Amino acid sequence: MKGASMDTAIDVGGLTKYYGKTRGIEDLTFSVAAGQAFGFLGPNGAGKTTTIRCLLGMLKPTAGAASLLGQTVTLDGARLRRRIGYVPGEVRLYENETGRWLLDYVSGLRGSAPSSQTELLEQLEFDPTKRVKHLSKGNKQKLALVIALMHDPELLILDEPTSGLDPLNQQTVFEILGRRRAAGATVFFSSHILPEVEKVCDRVGIVREGRLVAEEDITSLLHKRIRRLEVTFAEPVDAGFLEGLPGLSDIEAFSTHTLRAVVKGEEMDGVLRRVCERRVRDIEIMHADLEEVFLEYYRGTAPEGGEAR
Amino acid sequence: MSWTLLRGTLHQRRWGLFWYCVGLATYGGYMAYFYPSIAKVDLDQFLKAIPSELYRFMAGSSVSFNTFGGFLATEYTGFMWVLIAGAAIIAYAARTFGGEVEAGTMELLLSMPVSRVSLAFTRIVGLVVVDAAVVASSFVPIWLVARDQRVEFTPAHLWVLGGVGFLLMLLLGAFALAVSSVTRGSGVSAGVTGGVVAAMWLMHFLRDVADWADVFEPVNIFKYWDPARLVEKGTAAPETWWVLAVSSVVLMAVSVVAFSRRDVT
């Protein structure tokens, strides 16, 4: 790894982009520390890709500014892009060329040795001899990943990088990203799939309708997680036994001995104390994934109307 | 300029360009090969049957179908060559910016450490190379076959016809490039350029039959394309050279500036 020495890898201030009168993103402000993995979460059309294109200098912001690795982003920031690896949300490459040709072409454009190319090709089990038009969606995604990572960039900007990959290859990508992070790279991981962000990131920004509605450490976000509780008692119990406890909702009697409920936030301790007042035969606590936390956020922090791109 | 980008750009168009050039070489060689046979035929009766406006439209200033310049202009360089070669040049230029934005491949290029100005300039160099290949494959075979057939078509004739042809195509390409630099998709750029070229051609034709069409003549590039005169006299007016060249350079500069400032979505 070439070593990211800056304290802040990504610094975004008041970033706004309008397409004519249509809002793409509005007043986005956040920063990502060097070496951090930042999850950029939002549903399709929330403004994730617009943000990334502003960060890469493909779009000129209507207002605000961004800097990457200590350099202000401009439309013509060629030197800065040498230090960045980018996987687009929709991989589109030269269809009539082979993967090998593209890898050589990109290396030539970068003017730097593709030091990790062989390793990545092996890890992702990608055959570069086929023409792009003959590749499946998953294999095109693998090729885009190799192109983005093969020069060991300091900053990875990944727009839904596991799209089209099977679970095994997704796991391989997470492992590769983990190694890159360990080597000091910063990861900006855009996705609408929360469990994969949970695996990769340590900080999360949630964007909706072009605005950043939350920004938290992943651990803090996980503390707000929703857990499903199922307790089987040794004797018959009524649903009213658990009622009135803070953080507990959707209490139902699944059978005469079993109660089900949803526990939100930090209230598990009080719930367990109440449960332990009776003899317990079995207990199961299922952690809801970030998806539900995400939806919970949306319910609570919906920005005012306006069109999102 | 990026040599890697230039090589890549030409590599991606290599087969299309190759077969286009083969077609143009065959067409031009065929014309030169058959000229001696046709020149023996008295075509006066045929010429008299054609309205003078139509004849001027096809052959420019030439008044004789039996001269090599007149024959070539009527049968090939006056209209068909502009159509065929122009299509190749416009197709290249239209794809250069807007076409790649639409195809999504511009996103890959703009994530590379190549500046937009360098990218645009490299693509312009690519246009010059494609133009040179198209023009050379069009006229060099004519010169070679004409020499073999003992038709008077000297290297000086070749230079003038090829030079003005090159600049005419460069101007068409530069216009398409300028449109492509601000639009999304090859079709828009090719359509706009094709429409403007067709309108100019039509106005150039109508100037002989309608006075109002003269209004457009000062900005009509086809008044500089008189292949019959170029071949028969072996010279071109000085303004032909500089107007076509300067207009091309201005449009190319416009396309570089426009592309370096545009959004790529």
Gap from B118 CA to chain A (nearest CA, Å): 10
pLDDT tens by residue, A119-173: 999 999 999 999 999 999 999 999 999 999 999 999 999 999 998 888 899 999 9
Closest CA to A163 of A126, A125, A135, A190: A190
pLDDT of residue A307: 34
| Residues of A with Cβ-Cβ distance to B265 under 8 angstroms | 19, 53, 58-59
When pLDDT is averaged across residues A288-299 and rounded to a whole number, the result is 62
Report the percent of chain A where pLDDT is more than 90: 53
In which residue are the tokens 């119990």 written? Answer: A237
In which residue are the tokens 């340590």 written? Answer: A202
| CB atoms inside a 10 Å sphere around CB A134 | 10
Say which amino acid occupies B118: S
Spans in chain B with pLDDT lower than 50: none
Identify the CATH class of A226-287.
alpha beta
Q: How many whole angstroms separate alpha carbon A39 and alpha carbon A216?
A: 10
In which residue are the tokens 């042809």 written? Answer: B165
pLDDT of residue B64: 65
* CATH code 1.50.10.20 for A8-222: no
Interface contact flag, A58 B264, Cβ < 8 Å: yes
Interface contact flag, B117 A60, Cβ < 8 Å: no
DSSP conformation letters of chain B: --HHHHHHHHHHTHHHHHHHHHHHHHHHHHHHHHHHHHHTS--HHHHHHS-HHHHHHHHTT---TTSHHHHHIIIIITTHHHHHHHHHHHHHHHIIIIIHHHHTHHHHHHTSS--HHHHHHHHHHHHHHHHHHHHHHHHHHHHHHHHHTT----HHHHHHHHHHHHHHHHHHHHHHHHHHTTSSSHHHHHHHHHHHHHHHHHHHHHTTT-GGGGGGGGG-GGGG--HHHHHHH----HHHHHHHHHHHHHHHHHHHHHHHHS---
List residues of B whose CB lies inside 8 A of any A CB: 2, 4-5, 7-8, 11-12, 103-105, 107-118, 260-261, 263-265
Interface contact flag, B107 A92, Cβ < 8 Å: yes
Interface contact flag, A110 B260, Cβ < 8 Å: no
Contacts of A86 by beta carbon, 8 Å cutoff, 6+ apart: A52, A56, A148, A156, A157, A158, A159, B111
Gap from A144 CA to chain B (nearest CA, Å): 9
Domains in chain A: boundaries: 8-222, 226-287
pLDDT tens by residue, B39-76: 777 666 666 677 776 766 666 665 566 788 888 888 88
pLDDT of residue A199: 85
What tokens does A76 get? 């013509």
pLDDT of residue A6: 52
Interface contact flag, A93 B116, Cβ < 8 Å: no
B217-223, long-range: CB within 8 Å, 24+ apart, which pairs? Answer: B221/B168, B221/B171, B221/B247
pLDDT of residue A86: 95
ipTM of the complex: 0.84
pLDDT of residue B211: 76
The distance of Cα A166 from the centroid of its chain, to the nearest Å, equals 17
pLDDT tens by residue, A207-226: 888 888 888 888 777 677 77
